[in-house]
Structure 1
Amino acid sequence: MWKRLWRAARARTASASDTAGATPASKSPRNEATVVAERAAALLRGGVPPRRAFAVLGADAAPSSPTAVIAARVADGVPVASALAATDAPEWRVLAVAWRLAEDSGAPLAPALQRIGYALRELDQLRERRSVLLAGPRATVRMVAALPILALLLGLLLGFDPIPVLFSSTGVLIAAVGIGLLGVGVHWSRAMQRRSANDDRIAGLALELTWVALGGGAPPSAALKDVVNRVDHYGAEWVAFDGFRSGSALVTTIAAAESAGVPIRPLLLEQADAERVGSSAEQERDAERLGVRVLLPLGVCVLPSFIVLGVLPVVLSMFGAL
């Protein structure tokens, strides 16, 4: 029975991924946490108990994957939220907070996981977009890094011999400068890409998690306290504590709903969606700027290294031949 439910869950999550947006980005490879959130939600909706859901998920995962490791921890008796939080990635800790809040408040677990899964999927699409934008600069850097060897071979074909130049005292200096420039350029480019990846975030998580905490009927003050405690306990760094302070969108939305006498939870989701749209646009612009800025190391370091390593030895050998 569990296998049939698992196949149905995979079919439902695949269908949701295809219908969520008919763009190439919506079919990009997803982070494993995204897959677990969506498929666990589908299994829970199908009636699978929470701990059993991870046994089913782990059976279909690679042995060394985070999903298999989490499933093994859960099988050993570790609470699901703790098993999720022990995985070294921020998205897993967000899932751990959502899971624990749903357990604490008595809120339905499947909708909570589905909401976090949607948010993670949008982040996956942004990462894929960034990868596409950086594909050209990366290929250019690799090509230019290979040009010195081609230039040396071309010099040999033209009848010049730049190899003795490289083994002279001047050649050693040339090689050191060229290799140094190339190394600095490659390191600079990679550092820019790593810094951009470290800035990944999901906006509106404080609102989403409070929505989960309110799902069991707790008063807003108790729900906010529970969310802050769980975020701190599991180290969910994507959830900024500034989002819980007076004047934040979360506190303002709750106050407005209470003042108007309307349900709080729908307003929280609307505000979370609005924040996520604005944040996605900002991160998209940052990714496009990175695609241009990453060319700076190419012009400052990599191209000069090509001239020093590939062109200068050939020119010196030409003068020597003349």
Structure 2
Amino acid sequence: MSNLGAILAGALLAGIAALVWPRHRRRRRVRVAEKESLRADRVASALDTIAMCLQAGLTPARALSISGTRVPEASIVRGVLADVHRSLARGDPGGVAWQRHTRQLPELQMLAGAWTLTESSGASLQPAVAWSAGHLRERRAAAERLGAVSAGARSSMYLMLLLPFTGGPIGFFIGIPPWELYGNVPAAMACILGFGFAFGGVAISRRILARALRPAALPTDPPHEDSTMTDVTDAALLLHLALAGGSGIIECLEAVVPTCRGRVRADLARVAAAYRWGKSHDEAWAYAADAWEPVAIALGLALDHGAAPAEAVRSAANRLRASETVRLEAAAGKAGTLLIVPLAMMFLPAFMLTTVLPLVINLVPGAMGGG
């Protein structure tokens, strides 16, 4: 059975190598994440420069030109700024130019929407750009907090994955090389079954973490794409920006609709159409998902009492964002506790099958035909 033991020992070494290799991949992903973080900083800094230039009375094209010179040549942000500058110089709409690059730079999504709103409503561009920079920094800070909360759960998962691979080192330490440890049929079968449990535990753990970190989704509304609470919050903030320009509610809703996607876009389009049909405030917002209720209530109270609707909508959007952030952080913290399930059901049985049982078979004379 030495050949069987050698094969399983080689498989064990390959598994250990696989554990080490993804670690290098994770390092590359960390470097990519660091680049994305640096890119977000550069986008925010570029927007700050544009806002300052606009405040000084420069044209948007000139502001973009100056902002681009402050970004390193190797940065993708500089290329985007140059392309948008060329579009503005040709007289093309700036919002459309920014929107072209949102897949390449997701950080520009809110700026593209805000820029489009200012072009359609005639509102001042400088506050919209400054607001977009602040929003980007707030979102990045929230993502960093969530990453810190979920780091413990991820570390626990990878530590639990190491358990099934301890059989070979433990056996070697007590004088049983891996090819002898797994060189009999019972130990070999236990090892194979144990690794099946281990990789099943990885799949369950990843599913738990992915579900915990997933933004809350709105109910599906075919044929529209699915949307999340993050999309609702972003659209509400854009609605606040449009209302701050002094336009009417219907005009502002219709201006925000093109900047949104999926279920959120359909909801706002329905609400705007309901207003056009002469529906009351409550009846109009009944056509939207329940997630819009805080925004609808805040807007309704502002209209009933003569308060500024823009500030009411902004406050409601900030409450929605804070609530979703707290929910995600709590879910990420809870995920660490939920990982006890794969630990008890998958990783511990894997450890028993790949480590304890083969050692018992080899150390106890006559155990299951081993020794």
Shorter chain as denominator, the TM-score bin is: 0.7 to 0.9
Native 8 Å contact 1:155 1:314 kept in 2 = yes
Structure 2 unaligned residues grouped into runs of 5+: 1-35, 217-228, 272-283, 287-292
Instruction: State the 1:228 CA deviation.
Output: 1.5
TM-score by length of 1: 0.73
Native 8 Å contact 2:164 2:198 kept in 1 = no
CA deviation profile, 1:208-260 (whole Å, cap 9, x unmatched): 211222343322211111112332xxx3x595654655154434433433333
Native 8 Å contact 2:164 2:347 kept in 1 = no
Cα distance change of structure 1 residues 264 and 64 upon mapping to structure 2, 3 Å threshold? same
Secondary structure in structure 1 of the residue aligned to 2:143 = helix
Equivalent in the alignment of 2:198: 182
Give the counterpart of 2:333 among 288, 292, 302. 288
Equivalent in the alignment of 1:87: 102
Equivalent in the alignment of 1:220: 249
Deviates more, 1:40-49 or 1:307-316: 40-49
Tell me the distance in 2 between the aligned counterparts of 1:186 and 1:116: 39
Tell me the distance in 2 between the aligned counterparts of 1:181 and 1:91: 40
CA deviation profile, 1:109-146 (whole Å, cap 9, x unmatched): 33224434444434333332332233233333333333
Write the letter of the residue equivalent to 2:197: L
Cα distance change of structure 1 residues 75 and 177 upon mapping to structure 2, 3 Å threshold? farther
Answering whether residue 60 of structure 2 is matched by residue 50 of structure 1, we say: yes
Equivalent in the alignment of 2:84: 74
Structure 1 unaligned residues grouped into runs of 5+: 1-28
Write the letter of the residue equivalent to 1:312: L
CA deviation profile, 1:31-60 (whole Å, cap 9, x unmatched): 845752464044322335434555534862
CA deviation profile, 1:269-313 (whole Å, cap 9, x unmatched): 233233333333323322222232244333322232222222222
TM-score by length of 2: 0.64
Write the letter of the residue equivalent to 1:190: R
Equivalent in the alignment of 1:19: none
Tell me the distance in 2 between the aligned counterparts of 1:103 and 1:35: 24
Cα distance change of structure 1 residues 302 and 263 upon mapping to structure 2, 3 Å threshold? same
Equivalent in the alignment of 2:314: 269
Cα distance change of structure 1 residues 69 and 191 upon mapping to structure 2, 3 Å threshold? farther
Cα distance change of structure 1 residues 238 and 149 upon mapping to structure 2, 3 Å threshold? same
Aligned ranges for residues 16-35 of structure 1 at < 5 Å? 30=37, 32-33=39-40
Equivalent in the alignment of 1:279: 324
Secondary structure in structure 2 of the residue aligned to 1:87 = coil
Tell me the distance in 1 between the aligned counterparts of 2:149 and 2:195: 27
Who wins on radius of gyration, i.e. which is larger? Answer: 2
Tell me the distance in 2 between the aligned counterparts of 1:195 and 1:240: 25
Cα distance change of structure 1 residues 73 and 170 upon mapping to structure 2, 3 Å threshold? farther
Answering whether residue 201 of structure 2 is matched by residue 159 of structure 1, we say: no
Percent identical among aligned pairs is 25
Equivalent in the alignment of 1:7: none
Aligned residues: 289
Cα distance change of structure 1 residues 75 and 155 upon mapping to structure 2, 3 Å threshold? same
Native 8 Å contact 1:102 1:109 kept in 2 = yes
Instruction: State the 1:100 CA deviation.
Output: 0.9
Tell me the distance in 2 between the aligned counterparts of 1:30 and 1:151: 40
Equivalent in the alignment of 2:19: none
Tell me the distance in 2 between the aligned counterparts of 1:196 and 1:240: 26
RMSD in angstroms over aligned alpha carbons?
3.4
Equivalent in the alignment of 2:258: 229
CA deviation profile, 1:42-98 (whole Å, cap 9, x unmatched): 432233543455553486257464x34533542553754334434337654333212
Deviates more, 1:97-106 or 1:186-195: 186-195
Equivalent in the alignment of 1:5: none
Cα distance change of structure 1 residues 197 and 38 upon mapping to structure 2, 3 Å threshold? farther
Tell me the distance in 2 between the aligned counterparts of 1:191 and 1:224: 37
